[in-house]
Each structure stands twice: as C-alpha cells, then as structure tokens.
Structure 1
Amino acid sequence: MSDLFASTEPPTPHAAGPRPLADRLRPQTLGEVIGQEQVLGPDSPLGVMLASGSLSSIIFWGPPGVGKTTIARLLAAETDLHFVQISAIFTGVPDLRKVFEAAKIRRQNGQGTLLFVDEIHRFNKAQQDSFLPYMEDGTILLVGATTENPSFELNAAVLSRAQVMVLTRLSLADLALLAERAEREFGKALPLNARARDTLFEMADGDGRTLLNLIEQIVAWKVETPLDPEQLGKRLMRRAAKYDKSGDEHYNLISALHKSVRGSDPDAALYWFSRMLEGGEDPRYLARRLTRMAIEDIQLADPQAQAMCLHAWEVYERLGSPEGELALAQAVVYLALAPKSNAVYTAFKAARDAARKTGSEPPPKHILNAPTKLMAEQGYGENYAYDHDAEDGFSGQNFFPDTLPRTQFYKPVERGFERDLAKRVAYFDKLRDKRTS
C-alpha cells in the first residue's frame, strides 16, 4: 500500500537526516497539546467523549498550525485505533477504495481504524458521500480537518454524522509556552530581547508550526548579543496575513468591515479595510462594497454618502494603487461617522411584499390617463385633482388601489437628513387628513 495511507507512528530519526523541530516537539499525549482548551478540556465535547469511552466522528475546523493533525493522531493512540492519514489534495476514488478495504480487513481482525482526512473540504460531493456507509457500519471513525467553513464546504449527510469542533489560533501566551519548549529542546535561550521575542510571536500569527520554523532559523544564527525587533525584522520575513480572496476569511473580513461601518466605529472600520488591502484584496471590490453600505445602512439619513462612495471609486480608478486607496479610506471614515438609517430598505421590503400579495390590483381610475373617448367614458381621469392647482401644491388624493387601504411603508428615522424628511412626511399627512376630512 502507498505510504500515503501508512500508519503515523513517529518516524525513527536517522543519523544522516535530523528531524525538524516541529516533529521533535510533537506532543506524545493530549495533555501535552498547547491551547485548544475549548476542545480538549475535561468538560469539553472531546473531553467528555474520551471520558465516556465513546468517540464519534469529528470535523476539526480551524486555521493552519493549531494542532488538527496532532490531536487526530493522539486520539487514535488514546482509543487504540489504527491511524491512517490521507490528504484530499492527493487522494482519488481508487485510493479511497483501498483505504476502505484495508479498514474492513482490520475490523474483521478486531482492529478499528481512525481515518484522518486533511483538507476534507477539497473532496467533491461524490467523494464525501463515499465515506457514509463506512462511517455508519463502524468500519472507520472519520476525523476530518478543514480550514474552510464546514457549513458551506461539507455535505449535510457527512455533517449529520460528525461533530464539528472549532480550533482557534494560538494565543501569544500559547506561543510563548511553545517557544519555551523549543528552548528546552535546544538547551539555550533564543538570542532575542523581550520586545523582539514578542515581535517573533506576532510574526507567527497564531500558527505554532510557523513559530517553530522561525525558531529553528533563529537558533542557527551566530549572535553575540540579543537582537531587538528591528534587527529581527531585517533577518526574518514577517508571515503574510492569512487571507483567501475566495474563501472563508474573505467573507469574515468584509463582514467585519461592514458591521464596523454600521456600528459607527471609524477606527475598527479602517483596521478591517486595511487588513483586506494587506491580504491582496482588489480595491475595486472594496469600492463596490462601500457603495453598498451607503445604500443599505445610511440611505437618506445622509444622501451624500452614495455620492461620496462613487466619487472615491472614481478617484481610485484615475489614480490606482496606492494613492487611490486613500480616497476609499476617506469613504470608509465618512460612512462610519454618517447617521444611519435602513428606513427605505424596510419600506421597500414591505412595499414589495404588499405588491406580491395584492397581485394585479389596478390604480384608481382618477389617476389613469384617458387618451381615447372610450377610456374617458369608462371614467379614466375623472375627478383627478392637479396638485399644482392646489393652494399649497398638494391635492391629498388617494393613489393606492381602491381595494387597498392606505399603508405607511416609509417611516423615516430621527437621524441626519431623515429628520427633515420625517417633518415632511408629517406635514403631508396633516394636509391629507385635512383634505379628506
């Protein structure tokens, strides 16, 4: 069988090939895993499963370098299951058949199989469905790992048979513990002062594997005095922020930006806007989303918001990056500080709902044109009151279908320009009552 499906017992080091630090520090028990208390703690779902001796299929969802593979490996050891690891990137249907057949043979011989599938979201629907009968009859206990939202990437049938457990980025304190383990392994402290040490943890960006790789580089340096952050920055490249323009992180960050604008927080809005730019997001996409925020959350509370966004978009098109990005940043701040309203959105939604329910109700005849004699005889345009002929330019006539009672869809808020619009609505309501009384 291919090495791809081999058991994952720690490899024996060879004299000619030293093991990487990340492999040397791989935890040997679940108690040695750093972080992820929400999954591994005694009262956590996984802790309760292990204590009860009843382990079910699991999907680990979290960013890279936080222990998904390690925890899966240790679960197999804790439950005496044969551990098999595959990657959805390199595994096809024939390979899956071999895995399932081998697991069936083990089961007949009294040995269970924990099948760990890395990047499980990369399997298509048919491939994911192929796991179901073997999960149901106990041939395999599936442990999948994904960096993408399982709700969108995994079949409902698979999700219904597995428990999703969320693993989080390692905290700075977690990374500090990991660094101390590395220093004990090497028998010496890292040649960094306290501030540079903190900078190193920030460079790792919550990824334990990245931190250990960086530490391995640092230990190899010949340094006489501890380095400061600036010296460290010259020797190491900062890890690129985790960002996938078509994946989960993309939607998480645009959601954070939108909600920060809606929440009138210009500083948080600028932060998320900058995070997306640093991740390589297309500024035109951000310009379009900012315009959407103007028409969704500000509306007539500040009619200039739309114009501000369109103007910033046009400036970006003329200047390009990076100068044009400043115009978009100005729009971000303007939107965050603008008065907010969704009154038109609410009114439009209610009006569309009423339009669907009332079907084909015709307009009242008095507001219909009568270009022919027949239409005039049918009462089209009869008794229509021309608003400009009224003393105050307002006739107060009914413009709804005769069978539909007058409904107030638009209810302006007492914020920004809509405060003035609310006064106009009240003024016309008062005149209308006067005309119809």
Structure 2
Amino acid sequence: MADLFASETEQDGGGHRPLADRLRPQTLDEVIGQDQILGPEAPLRVMLEAGALGSLVFWGPPGVGKTTIARLLAHETDLQFVQISAIFTGVPELRKVFEAAKIRRQNGQGTLLFVDEIHRFNKAQQDGFLPHMEDGTILLVGATTENPSFELNAAVMSRAQVMVLERLDLKDLELLAQRAERELGTALPLDGAAREALLEMADGDGRALLNLIEQVAAWSVEGKLDTEALGTRLMRRAAQYDKSGDAHYNLISALHKSVRGSDPDAALYWFARMLEGGEDPRFLARRITRMAVEDIGLADPQAQAICLQSWQTYERLGSPEGELALAQALVYLALAPKSNAAYVAYKGARKAAKQTGSEPPPKHILNAPTSLMKDQGFGAGYAYDHDAEDGFSGQNYFPEGMDRQAFYAPVERGFERDLQKRVAYFAKLRAKRET
C-alpha cells in the first residue's frame, strides 16, 4: 500500500513520458498563469516568504496547475508530498496515510497531503482530517472543481484558506505552446489561424493543450495546416459544463443577468453555451419564464404570456426547432422594459404577513351569514364600491390597528407608467374620502 501514496513520480526507464509530465514545472516561478495567487504580494507567495504556509483548498477548473502547485509547495517547504484521490481512497487507506504521517512527524519530517477531488469525501470523511490538521500531523492541500462553500464542511473551511485558480487565457496557452515546441525541438505545423484555433480547443485547460500539441507534433505533414485541415484531423474538445455543478449555476446566472441588463446578444450567447453543454431546454424555458415574472413584471404584461407560448411551442416541436421559440422569448425579455416592483411588493407583503401573525380582517369587510355574526358587528359599515362615487369607497382593508402599508411602487417604464398613474389616482381619492 505504501507505493500507492508514493511522494515522487517514478521515473520511466526509457518508456514514453507524456508531454504534460515532461513539462511539469520544477519551481513556482515556472508555473504559467495564476498570478493572482503566485505573483509578488499575492497570498500564496506572501505565505511562503513569511514561512507560514497553512492548509489550503485550491478551487478551479481542470488543467490549471492545482496538483503541480501543491507538489512545488511541498518542495519549497521541505515537506513530504503525499497525493491521494477522494475517488479511490476509503477510510482504511486514509488511516494508513495518517499513521505514516505521524511516524514521519516523530522522525522530524512533515507531510503535505494533497487530496484531489476533496469534495468527493462525505462529511464524516472530511471530519477525519480535522484532528491531524490541528496537531500538525499533516498540512492539507485539497483540490476541487466545485464551489467549496457548498461542498466542504464548515470545520474544514475554517481551518483552510481557499485559493481560486483560473482557467488559462490564450496568452498563457501560447506561452505553454512555445515551451512545448522547445521541448519537442520543432515548431507546430500550423498557420496562425490554425494555431489560435488549437489554443481555443483546449478551452483554458493546459493539460488538454499539451495532449493536443503532442498529437499534432506526431503528424507527418508538408507545410502548414490551416484551420479547416486542423478541424478535420482533431475533434474540438467538449466545453466544460456540468449540469449539476458550478458551471450550471454560473452560466444560468450569466444568462439571467444579461436579460436583466437588456443585452439580447449576451443573453443569446449564454443560452447557446448552455444548450451546447447539454442543458435541458425545459429547464431553460422555466428559467426564462421566471425572468419575465421577476424582472419584467407588469412593465410589459405580455412578456409572461410570450414565455409560456414559447415553452408550449418547444413542447410541440421538440429540439432543435423548438429551441428557436425559446431564443425569441429571450430576445423579447432582454428588450422589454424592466420592473421588479411587483416582486418587491410581494416580498414586502410576505414579510408584513409574518410580522403581524394572525391579525383578523376588519369586521366591516367580513360576511355575516348568521344573526350572531351580525350582532358581533360583522359587515357593519361596509361600503359597496360600485355604489360609491368613482366606483371607489376608500375604505380600510388592512387589519384594525395596523397602519396602512404601501408595498407596490410602479416604475416609470412600460405599462407600469400607466399603473403608476392609477396608484396615484386612487391615493388621491382615498385622501379625499378620509377628509
């Protein structure tokens, strides 16, 4: 079992080593990207220079250097590097890891335990790390592609600092490609546009780029390939998207905020990104309808009906034709006047309802089907609005003893401009009746 947790990569005695392994940085200065944590005055660099490295959680997409940085941190701090994966490690294996770390500590050697996919451990397993973190047996470095705020225990989070790693941009990927060409001793047989297309295929994943470069470098071609020829020989890497993970919530947030921000082009882009990632169009139809309710409201009463019609059209046509109906609804929402006045009013009314508990309605608006109820004053003094001047009695409909509330405040946009006039009109009449 000791070999399972070996701290050093075994050297292949003459066998093929993948390019990604051959180009693994030997120092932190060689790491491409992640200046937000490794640059001068950045958190991780400051911790190292102060000699105060604590437990960490690296949160970021695949192929951005989480494992490499953890390995280099162990080297920088003279700690034994031990790597495990939460996918393949159970409680018995964890006990052996902790026991080996205790023995090392007794011999004067610390342990940096790198846990890949740490969010895969359940609550009990995560709790198992705590005593060993607290007594210094291990320095924990976890890696996760999921939001640690949701996936990791509060106790672990309180003892570890989260470092956010970002996907590599095209500039970073180009530097990585140049490093690969130096290692291979040859330039990639691609023209400028094809080279850029190759970088885009990696989708911010450095390891994926190196694997693609290794394939391209092995081709025997004359001259340089263009984008079309590259696309024929290589399949574009699937976009990173997990329908139940962070990518799902990040993209739907981007879609919703693009609509709220009245940007139909951005809205269509995020809509397309989610469809390309395999999102269920019915989920999108539901969310688009929610946008009409929350962000357009009564500023455009047609918006909700258009969303429901587009949803029904999708159900009739199916994919891919039905998705066009959803796209049209999305464009309509983005360009519609915006108002959350009714939404704010609803939340205000719910809050007031909780605070006032079980206050009864005023007696004058209660029905009195029995003589006993009439004797109790039910219905006494009720003014029938249709008999009143302007069809408006101005009576109080809130509980007795509760001040009148004003939850709904229409905006000066779209149809709510007309509703605002009506609210003001009735307020004026109510004030007139009261005097």
Q: The TM-score by the shorter chain falls in which range?
A: over 0.9
Given the alignment, which residue of 193, 196, 201 partners 2:194? Answer: 196
Aligned length, in residue pairs: 435
Q: Distance in 1 between matches of 2:52 and 2:31?
A: 21
Shift of the alpha carbon at 1:296? 0.9
Cα deviation digits, residues 53-100 of structure 1 (max 9, x gap): 221111111000000001111111111111110000000000000000
Q: Distance in 1 between matches of 2:428 and 2:370?
A: 36
- Unaligned ranges ≥5, structure 2: none
* Aligned match of 1:43: 41
Cα deviation digits, residues 82-119 of structure 1 (max 9, x gap): 11100000000000000000001111111111110000
Amino acid at match of 1:412: P
- Unaligned ranges ≥5, structure 1: none
* Aligned match of 1:97: 95
Q: Distance in 2 between matches of 1:302 and 1:175?
A: 46
What is the root-mean-square deviation of aligned Cα atoms in Å? Answer: 1.0
Counterparts of 1:108-147 in structure 2, within 5 Å, are 108-147=106-145
Counterparts of 1:256-267 in structure 2, within 5 Å, are 256-267=254-265
* Aligned match of 2:154: 156
Residue 407 of structure 2 aligns to a residue in which SS?
coil
Cα deviation digits, residues 322-341 of structure 1 (max 9, x gap): 00000000111111111111
Shift of the alpha carbon at 1:2? 4.1
Given the alignment, which residue of 335, 338, 346 partners 1:337? Answer: 335
Counterparts of 1:34-433 in structure 2, within 5 Å, are 34-433=32-431
Is 45-54 or 283-292 further displaced after alignment? 45-54
Q: Distance in 2 between matches of 1:150 and 1:258?
A: 23
TM-score by length of 1: 0.98
Residue 391 of structure 2 aligns to a residue in which SS?
coil
Residue 182 of structure 1 aligns to a residue in which SS?
helix
Residue 148 of structure 1 aligns to a residue in which SS?
coil
Q: Distance in 2 between matches of 1:85 and 1:406?
A: 65
Cα deviation digits, residues 9-28 of structure 1 (max 9, x gap): x432322x210100111111
Amino acid at match of 1:252: N
Amino acid at match of 2:226: D
Give the percent of matched residue pairs that are identical in Structure 1 and Structure 2. Answer: 80
Q: Distance in 2 between matches of 1:145 and 1:256?
A: 25
Is 388-397 or 339-348 further displaced after alignment? 388-397
Amino acid at match of 1:185: E
Amino acid at match of 1:314: Q
Shift of the alpha carbon at 1:426? 0.8
* Aligned match of 2:11: 12
Does 1:26 find its partner at 2:24?
Answer: yes
Q: Distance in 2 between matches of 1:312 and 1:424?
A: 31
Residue 105 of structure 1 aligns to a residue in which SS?
helix
Residue 115 of structure 1 aligns to a residue in which SS?
strand
Amino acid at match of 1:280: G
Residue 392 of structure 1 aligns to a residue in which SS?
helix
